[in-house]
Amino acid sequence: MSNRAQFVTKMGVIAATVGSAVGLGNIWRFPYEAGQHGGGAFLIVYLLCVFLLGIPVMIAEFVIGRSTHSNALTALQKLKPGSSLSKVSYIGIVASLMILSFYSVVAGWIMEYLFQAVTGGLSGHTSEEYATLFSTFTVNPWRSVMWTLIFLLANFMVLRRGIEKGIERISNIMMPVLFVMLLVFCVNSLFMPQAKKGLDFLFNPDFSQITPKVMLGALGQAFFSLSLGLTCLLTYASYFSDKTPLVRSATVVALLDTLVAILSGIIIFPAVFSFDMEPAAGPKLVFQILPEIFQQLPGGYLWSVAFFLLLFFASITSTISMSEISITYFVEAHKMSRSRATGLNTVIAMTFGTLCALSFGVLSDFKVFGMTLFELFDYVSSNIMLPIGGVMLSVFVGWIVDKKVVEEQLTDYGARKITLMRPIRFCIRYVAPLCISLIFLYGLGVL
């Protein structure tokens, strides 16, 4: 074992990986994607993607990371020198920087809402006023860019402190609290006048709505939410100890992540119908609904402050993990110092993050393939790059890595017996690469 940093405790492994997975993807992106793609129909495909494709790809990333304890590029080259599949690490680096850029814009919105919550700006408004609050803020070039940059600066500072200190401490404390808060909000939503309509929308699938576009949306969302396909979890697994139970960790992370997304849906959709809003409102959905929910809760002020604060931490544990991909690469492949590498990662994200933030205002007419820069970064990274990365990683582990290495990793160096060894390998070899490719090609209209 090399002298690279390692996660100190078993809890730390799960907490940090869950910290990466659980973030704006669950609480902001899941409800808006589900809302745009028919609710229940989307949820069914989403669940299938998480369990049949997501978990196997996650295990594949874990296998590569833990067996080599290296950054993605070095890891793939160590396992199979000269393999062209090692190019997946470049996809990961580019995708992670793209995601970091637009994600920081939304995390900046969270900071603005936290600021508004603290200063009392979120209470006592009508629905129209909440809608205006969001649109005037996002159109304002200074304010949203400022928050994007402040967020990236915060991300930079946490990263400078190094792996286990920064990441573990934050995620160990924040995640369980966030979870409990979500449960409270869920119960609250279940008592709303249109709760049944909201729950029907989310859980009662209309199968005729399952189109290739919905399937690709669900696949992209599953990969985005689980932080998959861009070697993020590969990089995290390179810090796992030999005793970390790989299969169990992947399952627990996927279950918790999915639970948080579903809880978020249970919070949002009853409110959407009770406040007479549009489920397909897009990225602004959650930002218009949440203040209304807090307004109705006794002690709404405290709830809103606490919630946006926790959401800020959930976002930063995710951005830390996606930043780690390029930083580890700059450090290990280009021999940069960690602080330089962190600085470079931050400067790139600040540049593109600024452009993404402006795409709601002054750059809103600048469109590529009919999408603003923000939408383009989101769509291309989640729906194109992550699925391609997922196929390459599962093919690599399923077909190229020595079977012995895979079995050694799945059994945690022989310490455990894995009863589902064959189905897991079957999913990594066949199900994941084939289904992801089919959904991808159908979704893009190629097939």
Determine, following the binding rule CB under 6 A, whether residue 326 of this chain makes contact with ligand PFF.
no
State the number of binding residues for ligand PFF (CB under 6 A).
Answer: 16
CB nearer ligand PFF, residue 198 or residue 220: 220
Q: Which two tokens stand for residue 340?
A: 């330089």
Counting DSSP H helices and E strands in the chain, the numbers are: 22, 0
Q: State how far the Cα of 331 lies from the Cα of 375, in Å rounded to an integer.
A: 31
CB of 432 to ligand PFF, least distance (A): 18
User: By C-beta, is 28 or 440 nearer to ligand PFF?
Assistant: 28
Backbone torsions φ then ψ of 162, nearest 5 degrees: 95, 170
Shortest distance, position 203 Cβ to ligand PFF, whole Å: 21
- The DSSP line for 416-432 is S--TTHHHHHHIIIIIH
Site for ligand PFF in 295-324 (CB under 6 A): 318, 321-322
Question: From residue 69 to residue 108, what is the string marking binding to ligand PFF with x (rule CB under 6 A)?
Answer: ---------------------------x--x---------
Burial 250-279 (b: 16+ CB within 10 A, else e): bbebbebbbebbbbbbbbbbbbbbbbebeb
Window 23-52: residues binding ligand PFF (CB under 6 A): 23-26
Stretch that binds ligand PFF, among 20-28, 150-158, 299-307, 425-433 (CB under 6 A): 20-28
Residue 233: CB minimum distance to ligand PFF, A: 8
Structural contact between residues 396 and 65, judged by C-beta atoms closer than 8 angstroms: no
14, 21, 79, 218: which one contacts ligand PFF (CB under 6 A)?
A: 21
Binding mask 115-154 for ligand PFF (x = CB under 6 A): ----------------------------------------
**Binding segment toward ligand PFF, per CB under 6 A, in 16-24, 127-135, 400-408, 426-434:** 16-24
Q: How far is the CB of 422 from ligand PFF (least distance, A)?
A: 29
Which CB, 16 or 395, lies closer to ligand PFF? 16
- Return d(Cα 65, Cα 153) in angstroms, integer: 28
Instruction: Give the per-residue contact string, 213-252, with ligand PFF (x = CB under 6 A; - = no).
Output: -----------xx-x--x-x--------------------
Run of H or E including 399: none
Do residues 28 and 261 make contact, with C-beta atoms less than 8 angstroms apart? no
In angstroms, rounded to a whole number, what is the distance separating the alpha carbons of residues 357 and 339?
Answer: 26
Cβ proximity to ligand PFF, 244 vs 321, nearer residue = 321
Contacts of 1 (CB under 8 A, 6+ apart): 69, 242
Distance, in Å, from the CA atom of 225 to the CA atom of 396, rounded to the nearest integer, reads 22
Please identify which residue in the block is written with the tokens 């920087």: 97
Q: Which is nearer to ligand PFF, 247 or 311 (CB)?
A: 311
Query: Smallest distance, Å, CB 90 to ligand PFF?
Result: 15
Of 25 and 283, which CB lies nearer to ligand PFF in the complex structure?
25
Write the burial class of residue 298 (CB in 10 Å: 0-12 exposed, 13-18 middle, 19+ buried): exposed
Euclidean distance between CA atoms 178 and 318, whole angstroms: 14
CB of 223 to ligand PFF, least distance (A): 8
Instruction: Please report, as ranges, the residues that interact with ligand PFF according to CB under 6 A.
Output: 20-21, 23-26, 96, 99, 224-225, 227, 230, 232, 318, 321-322
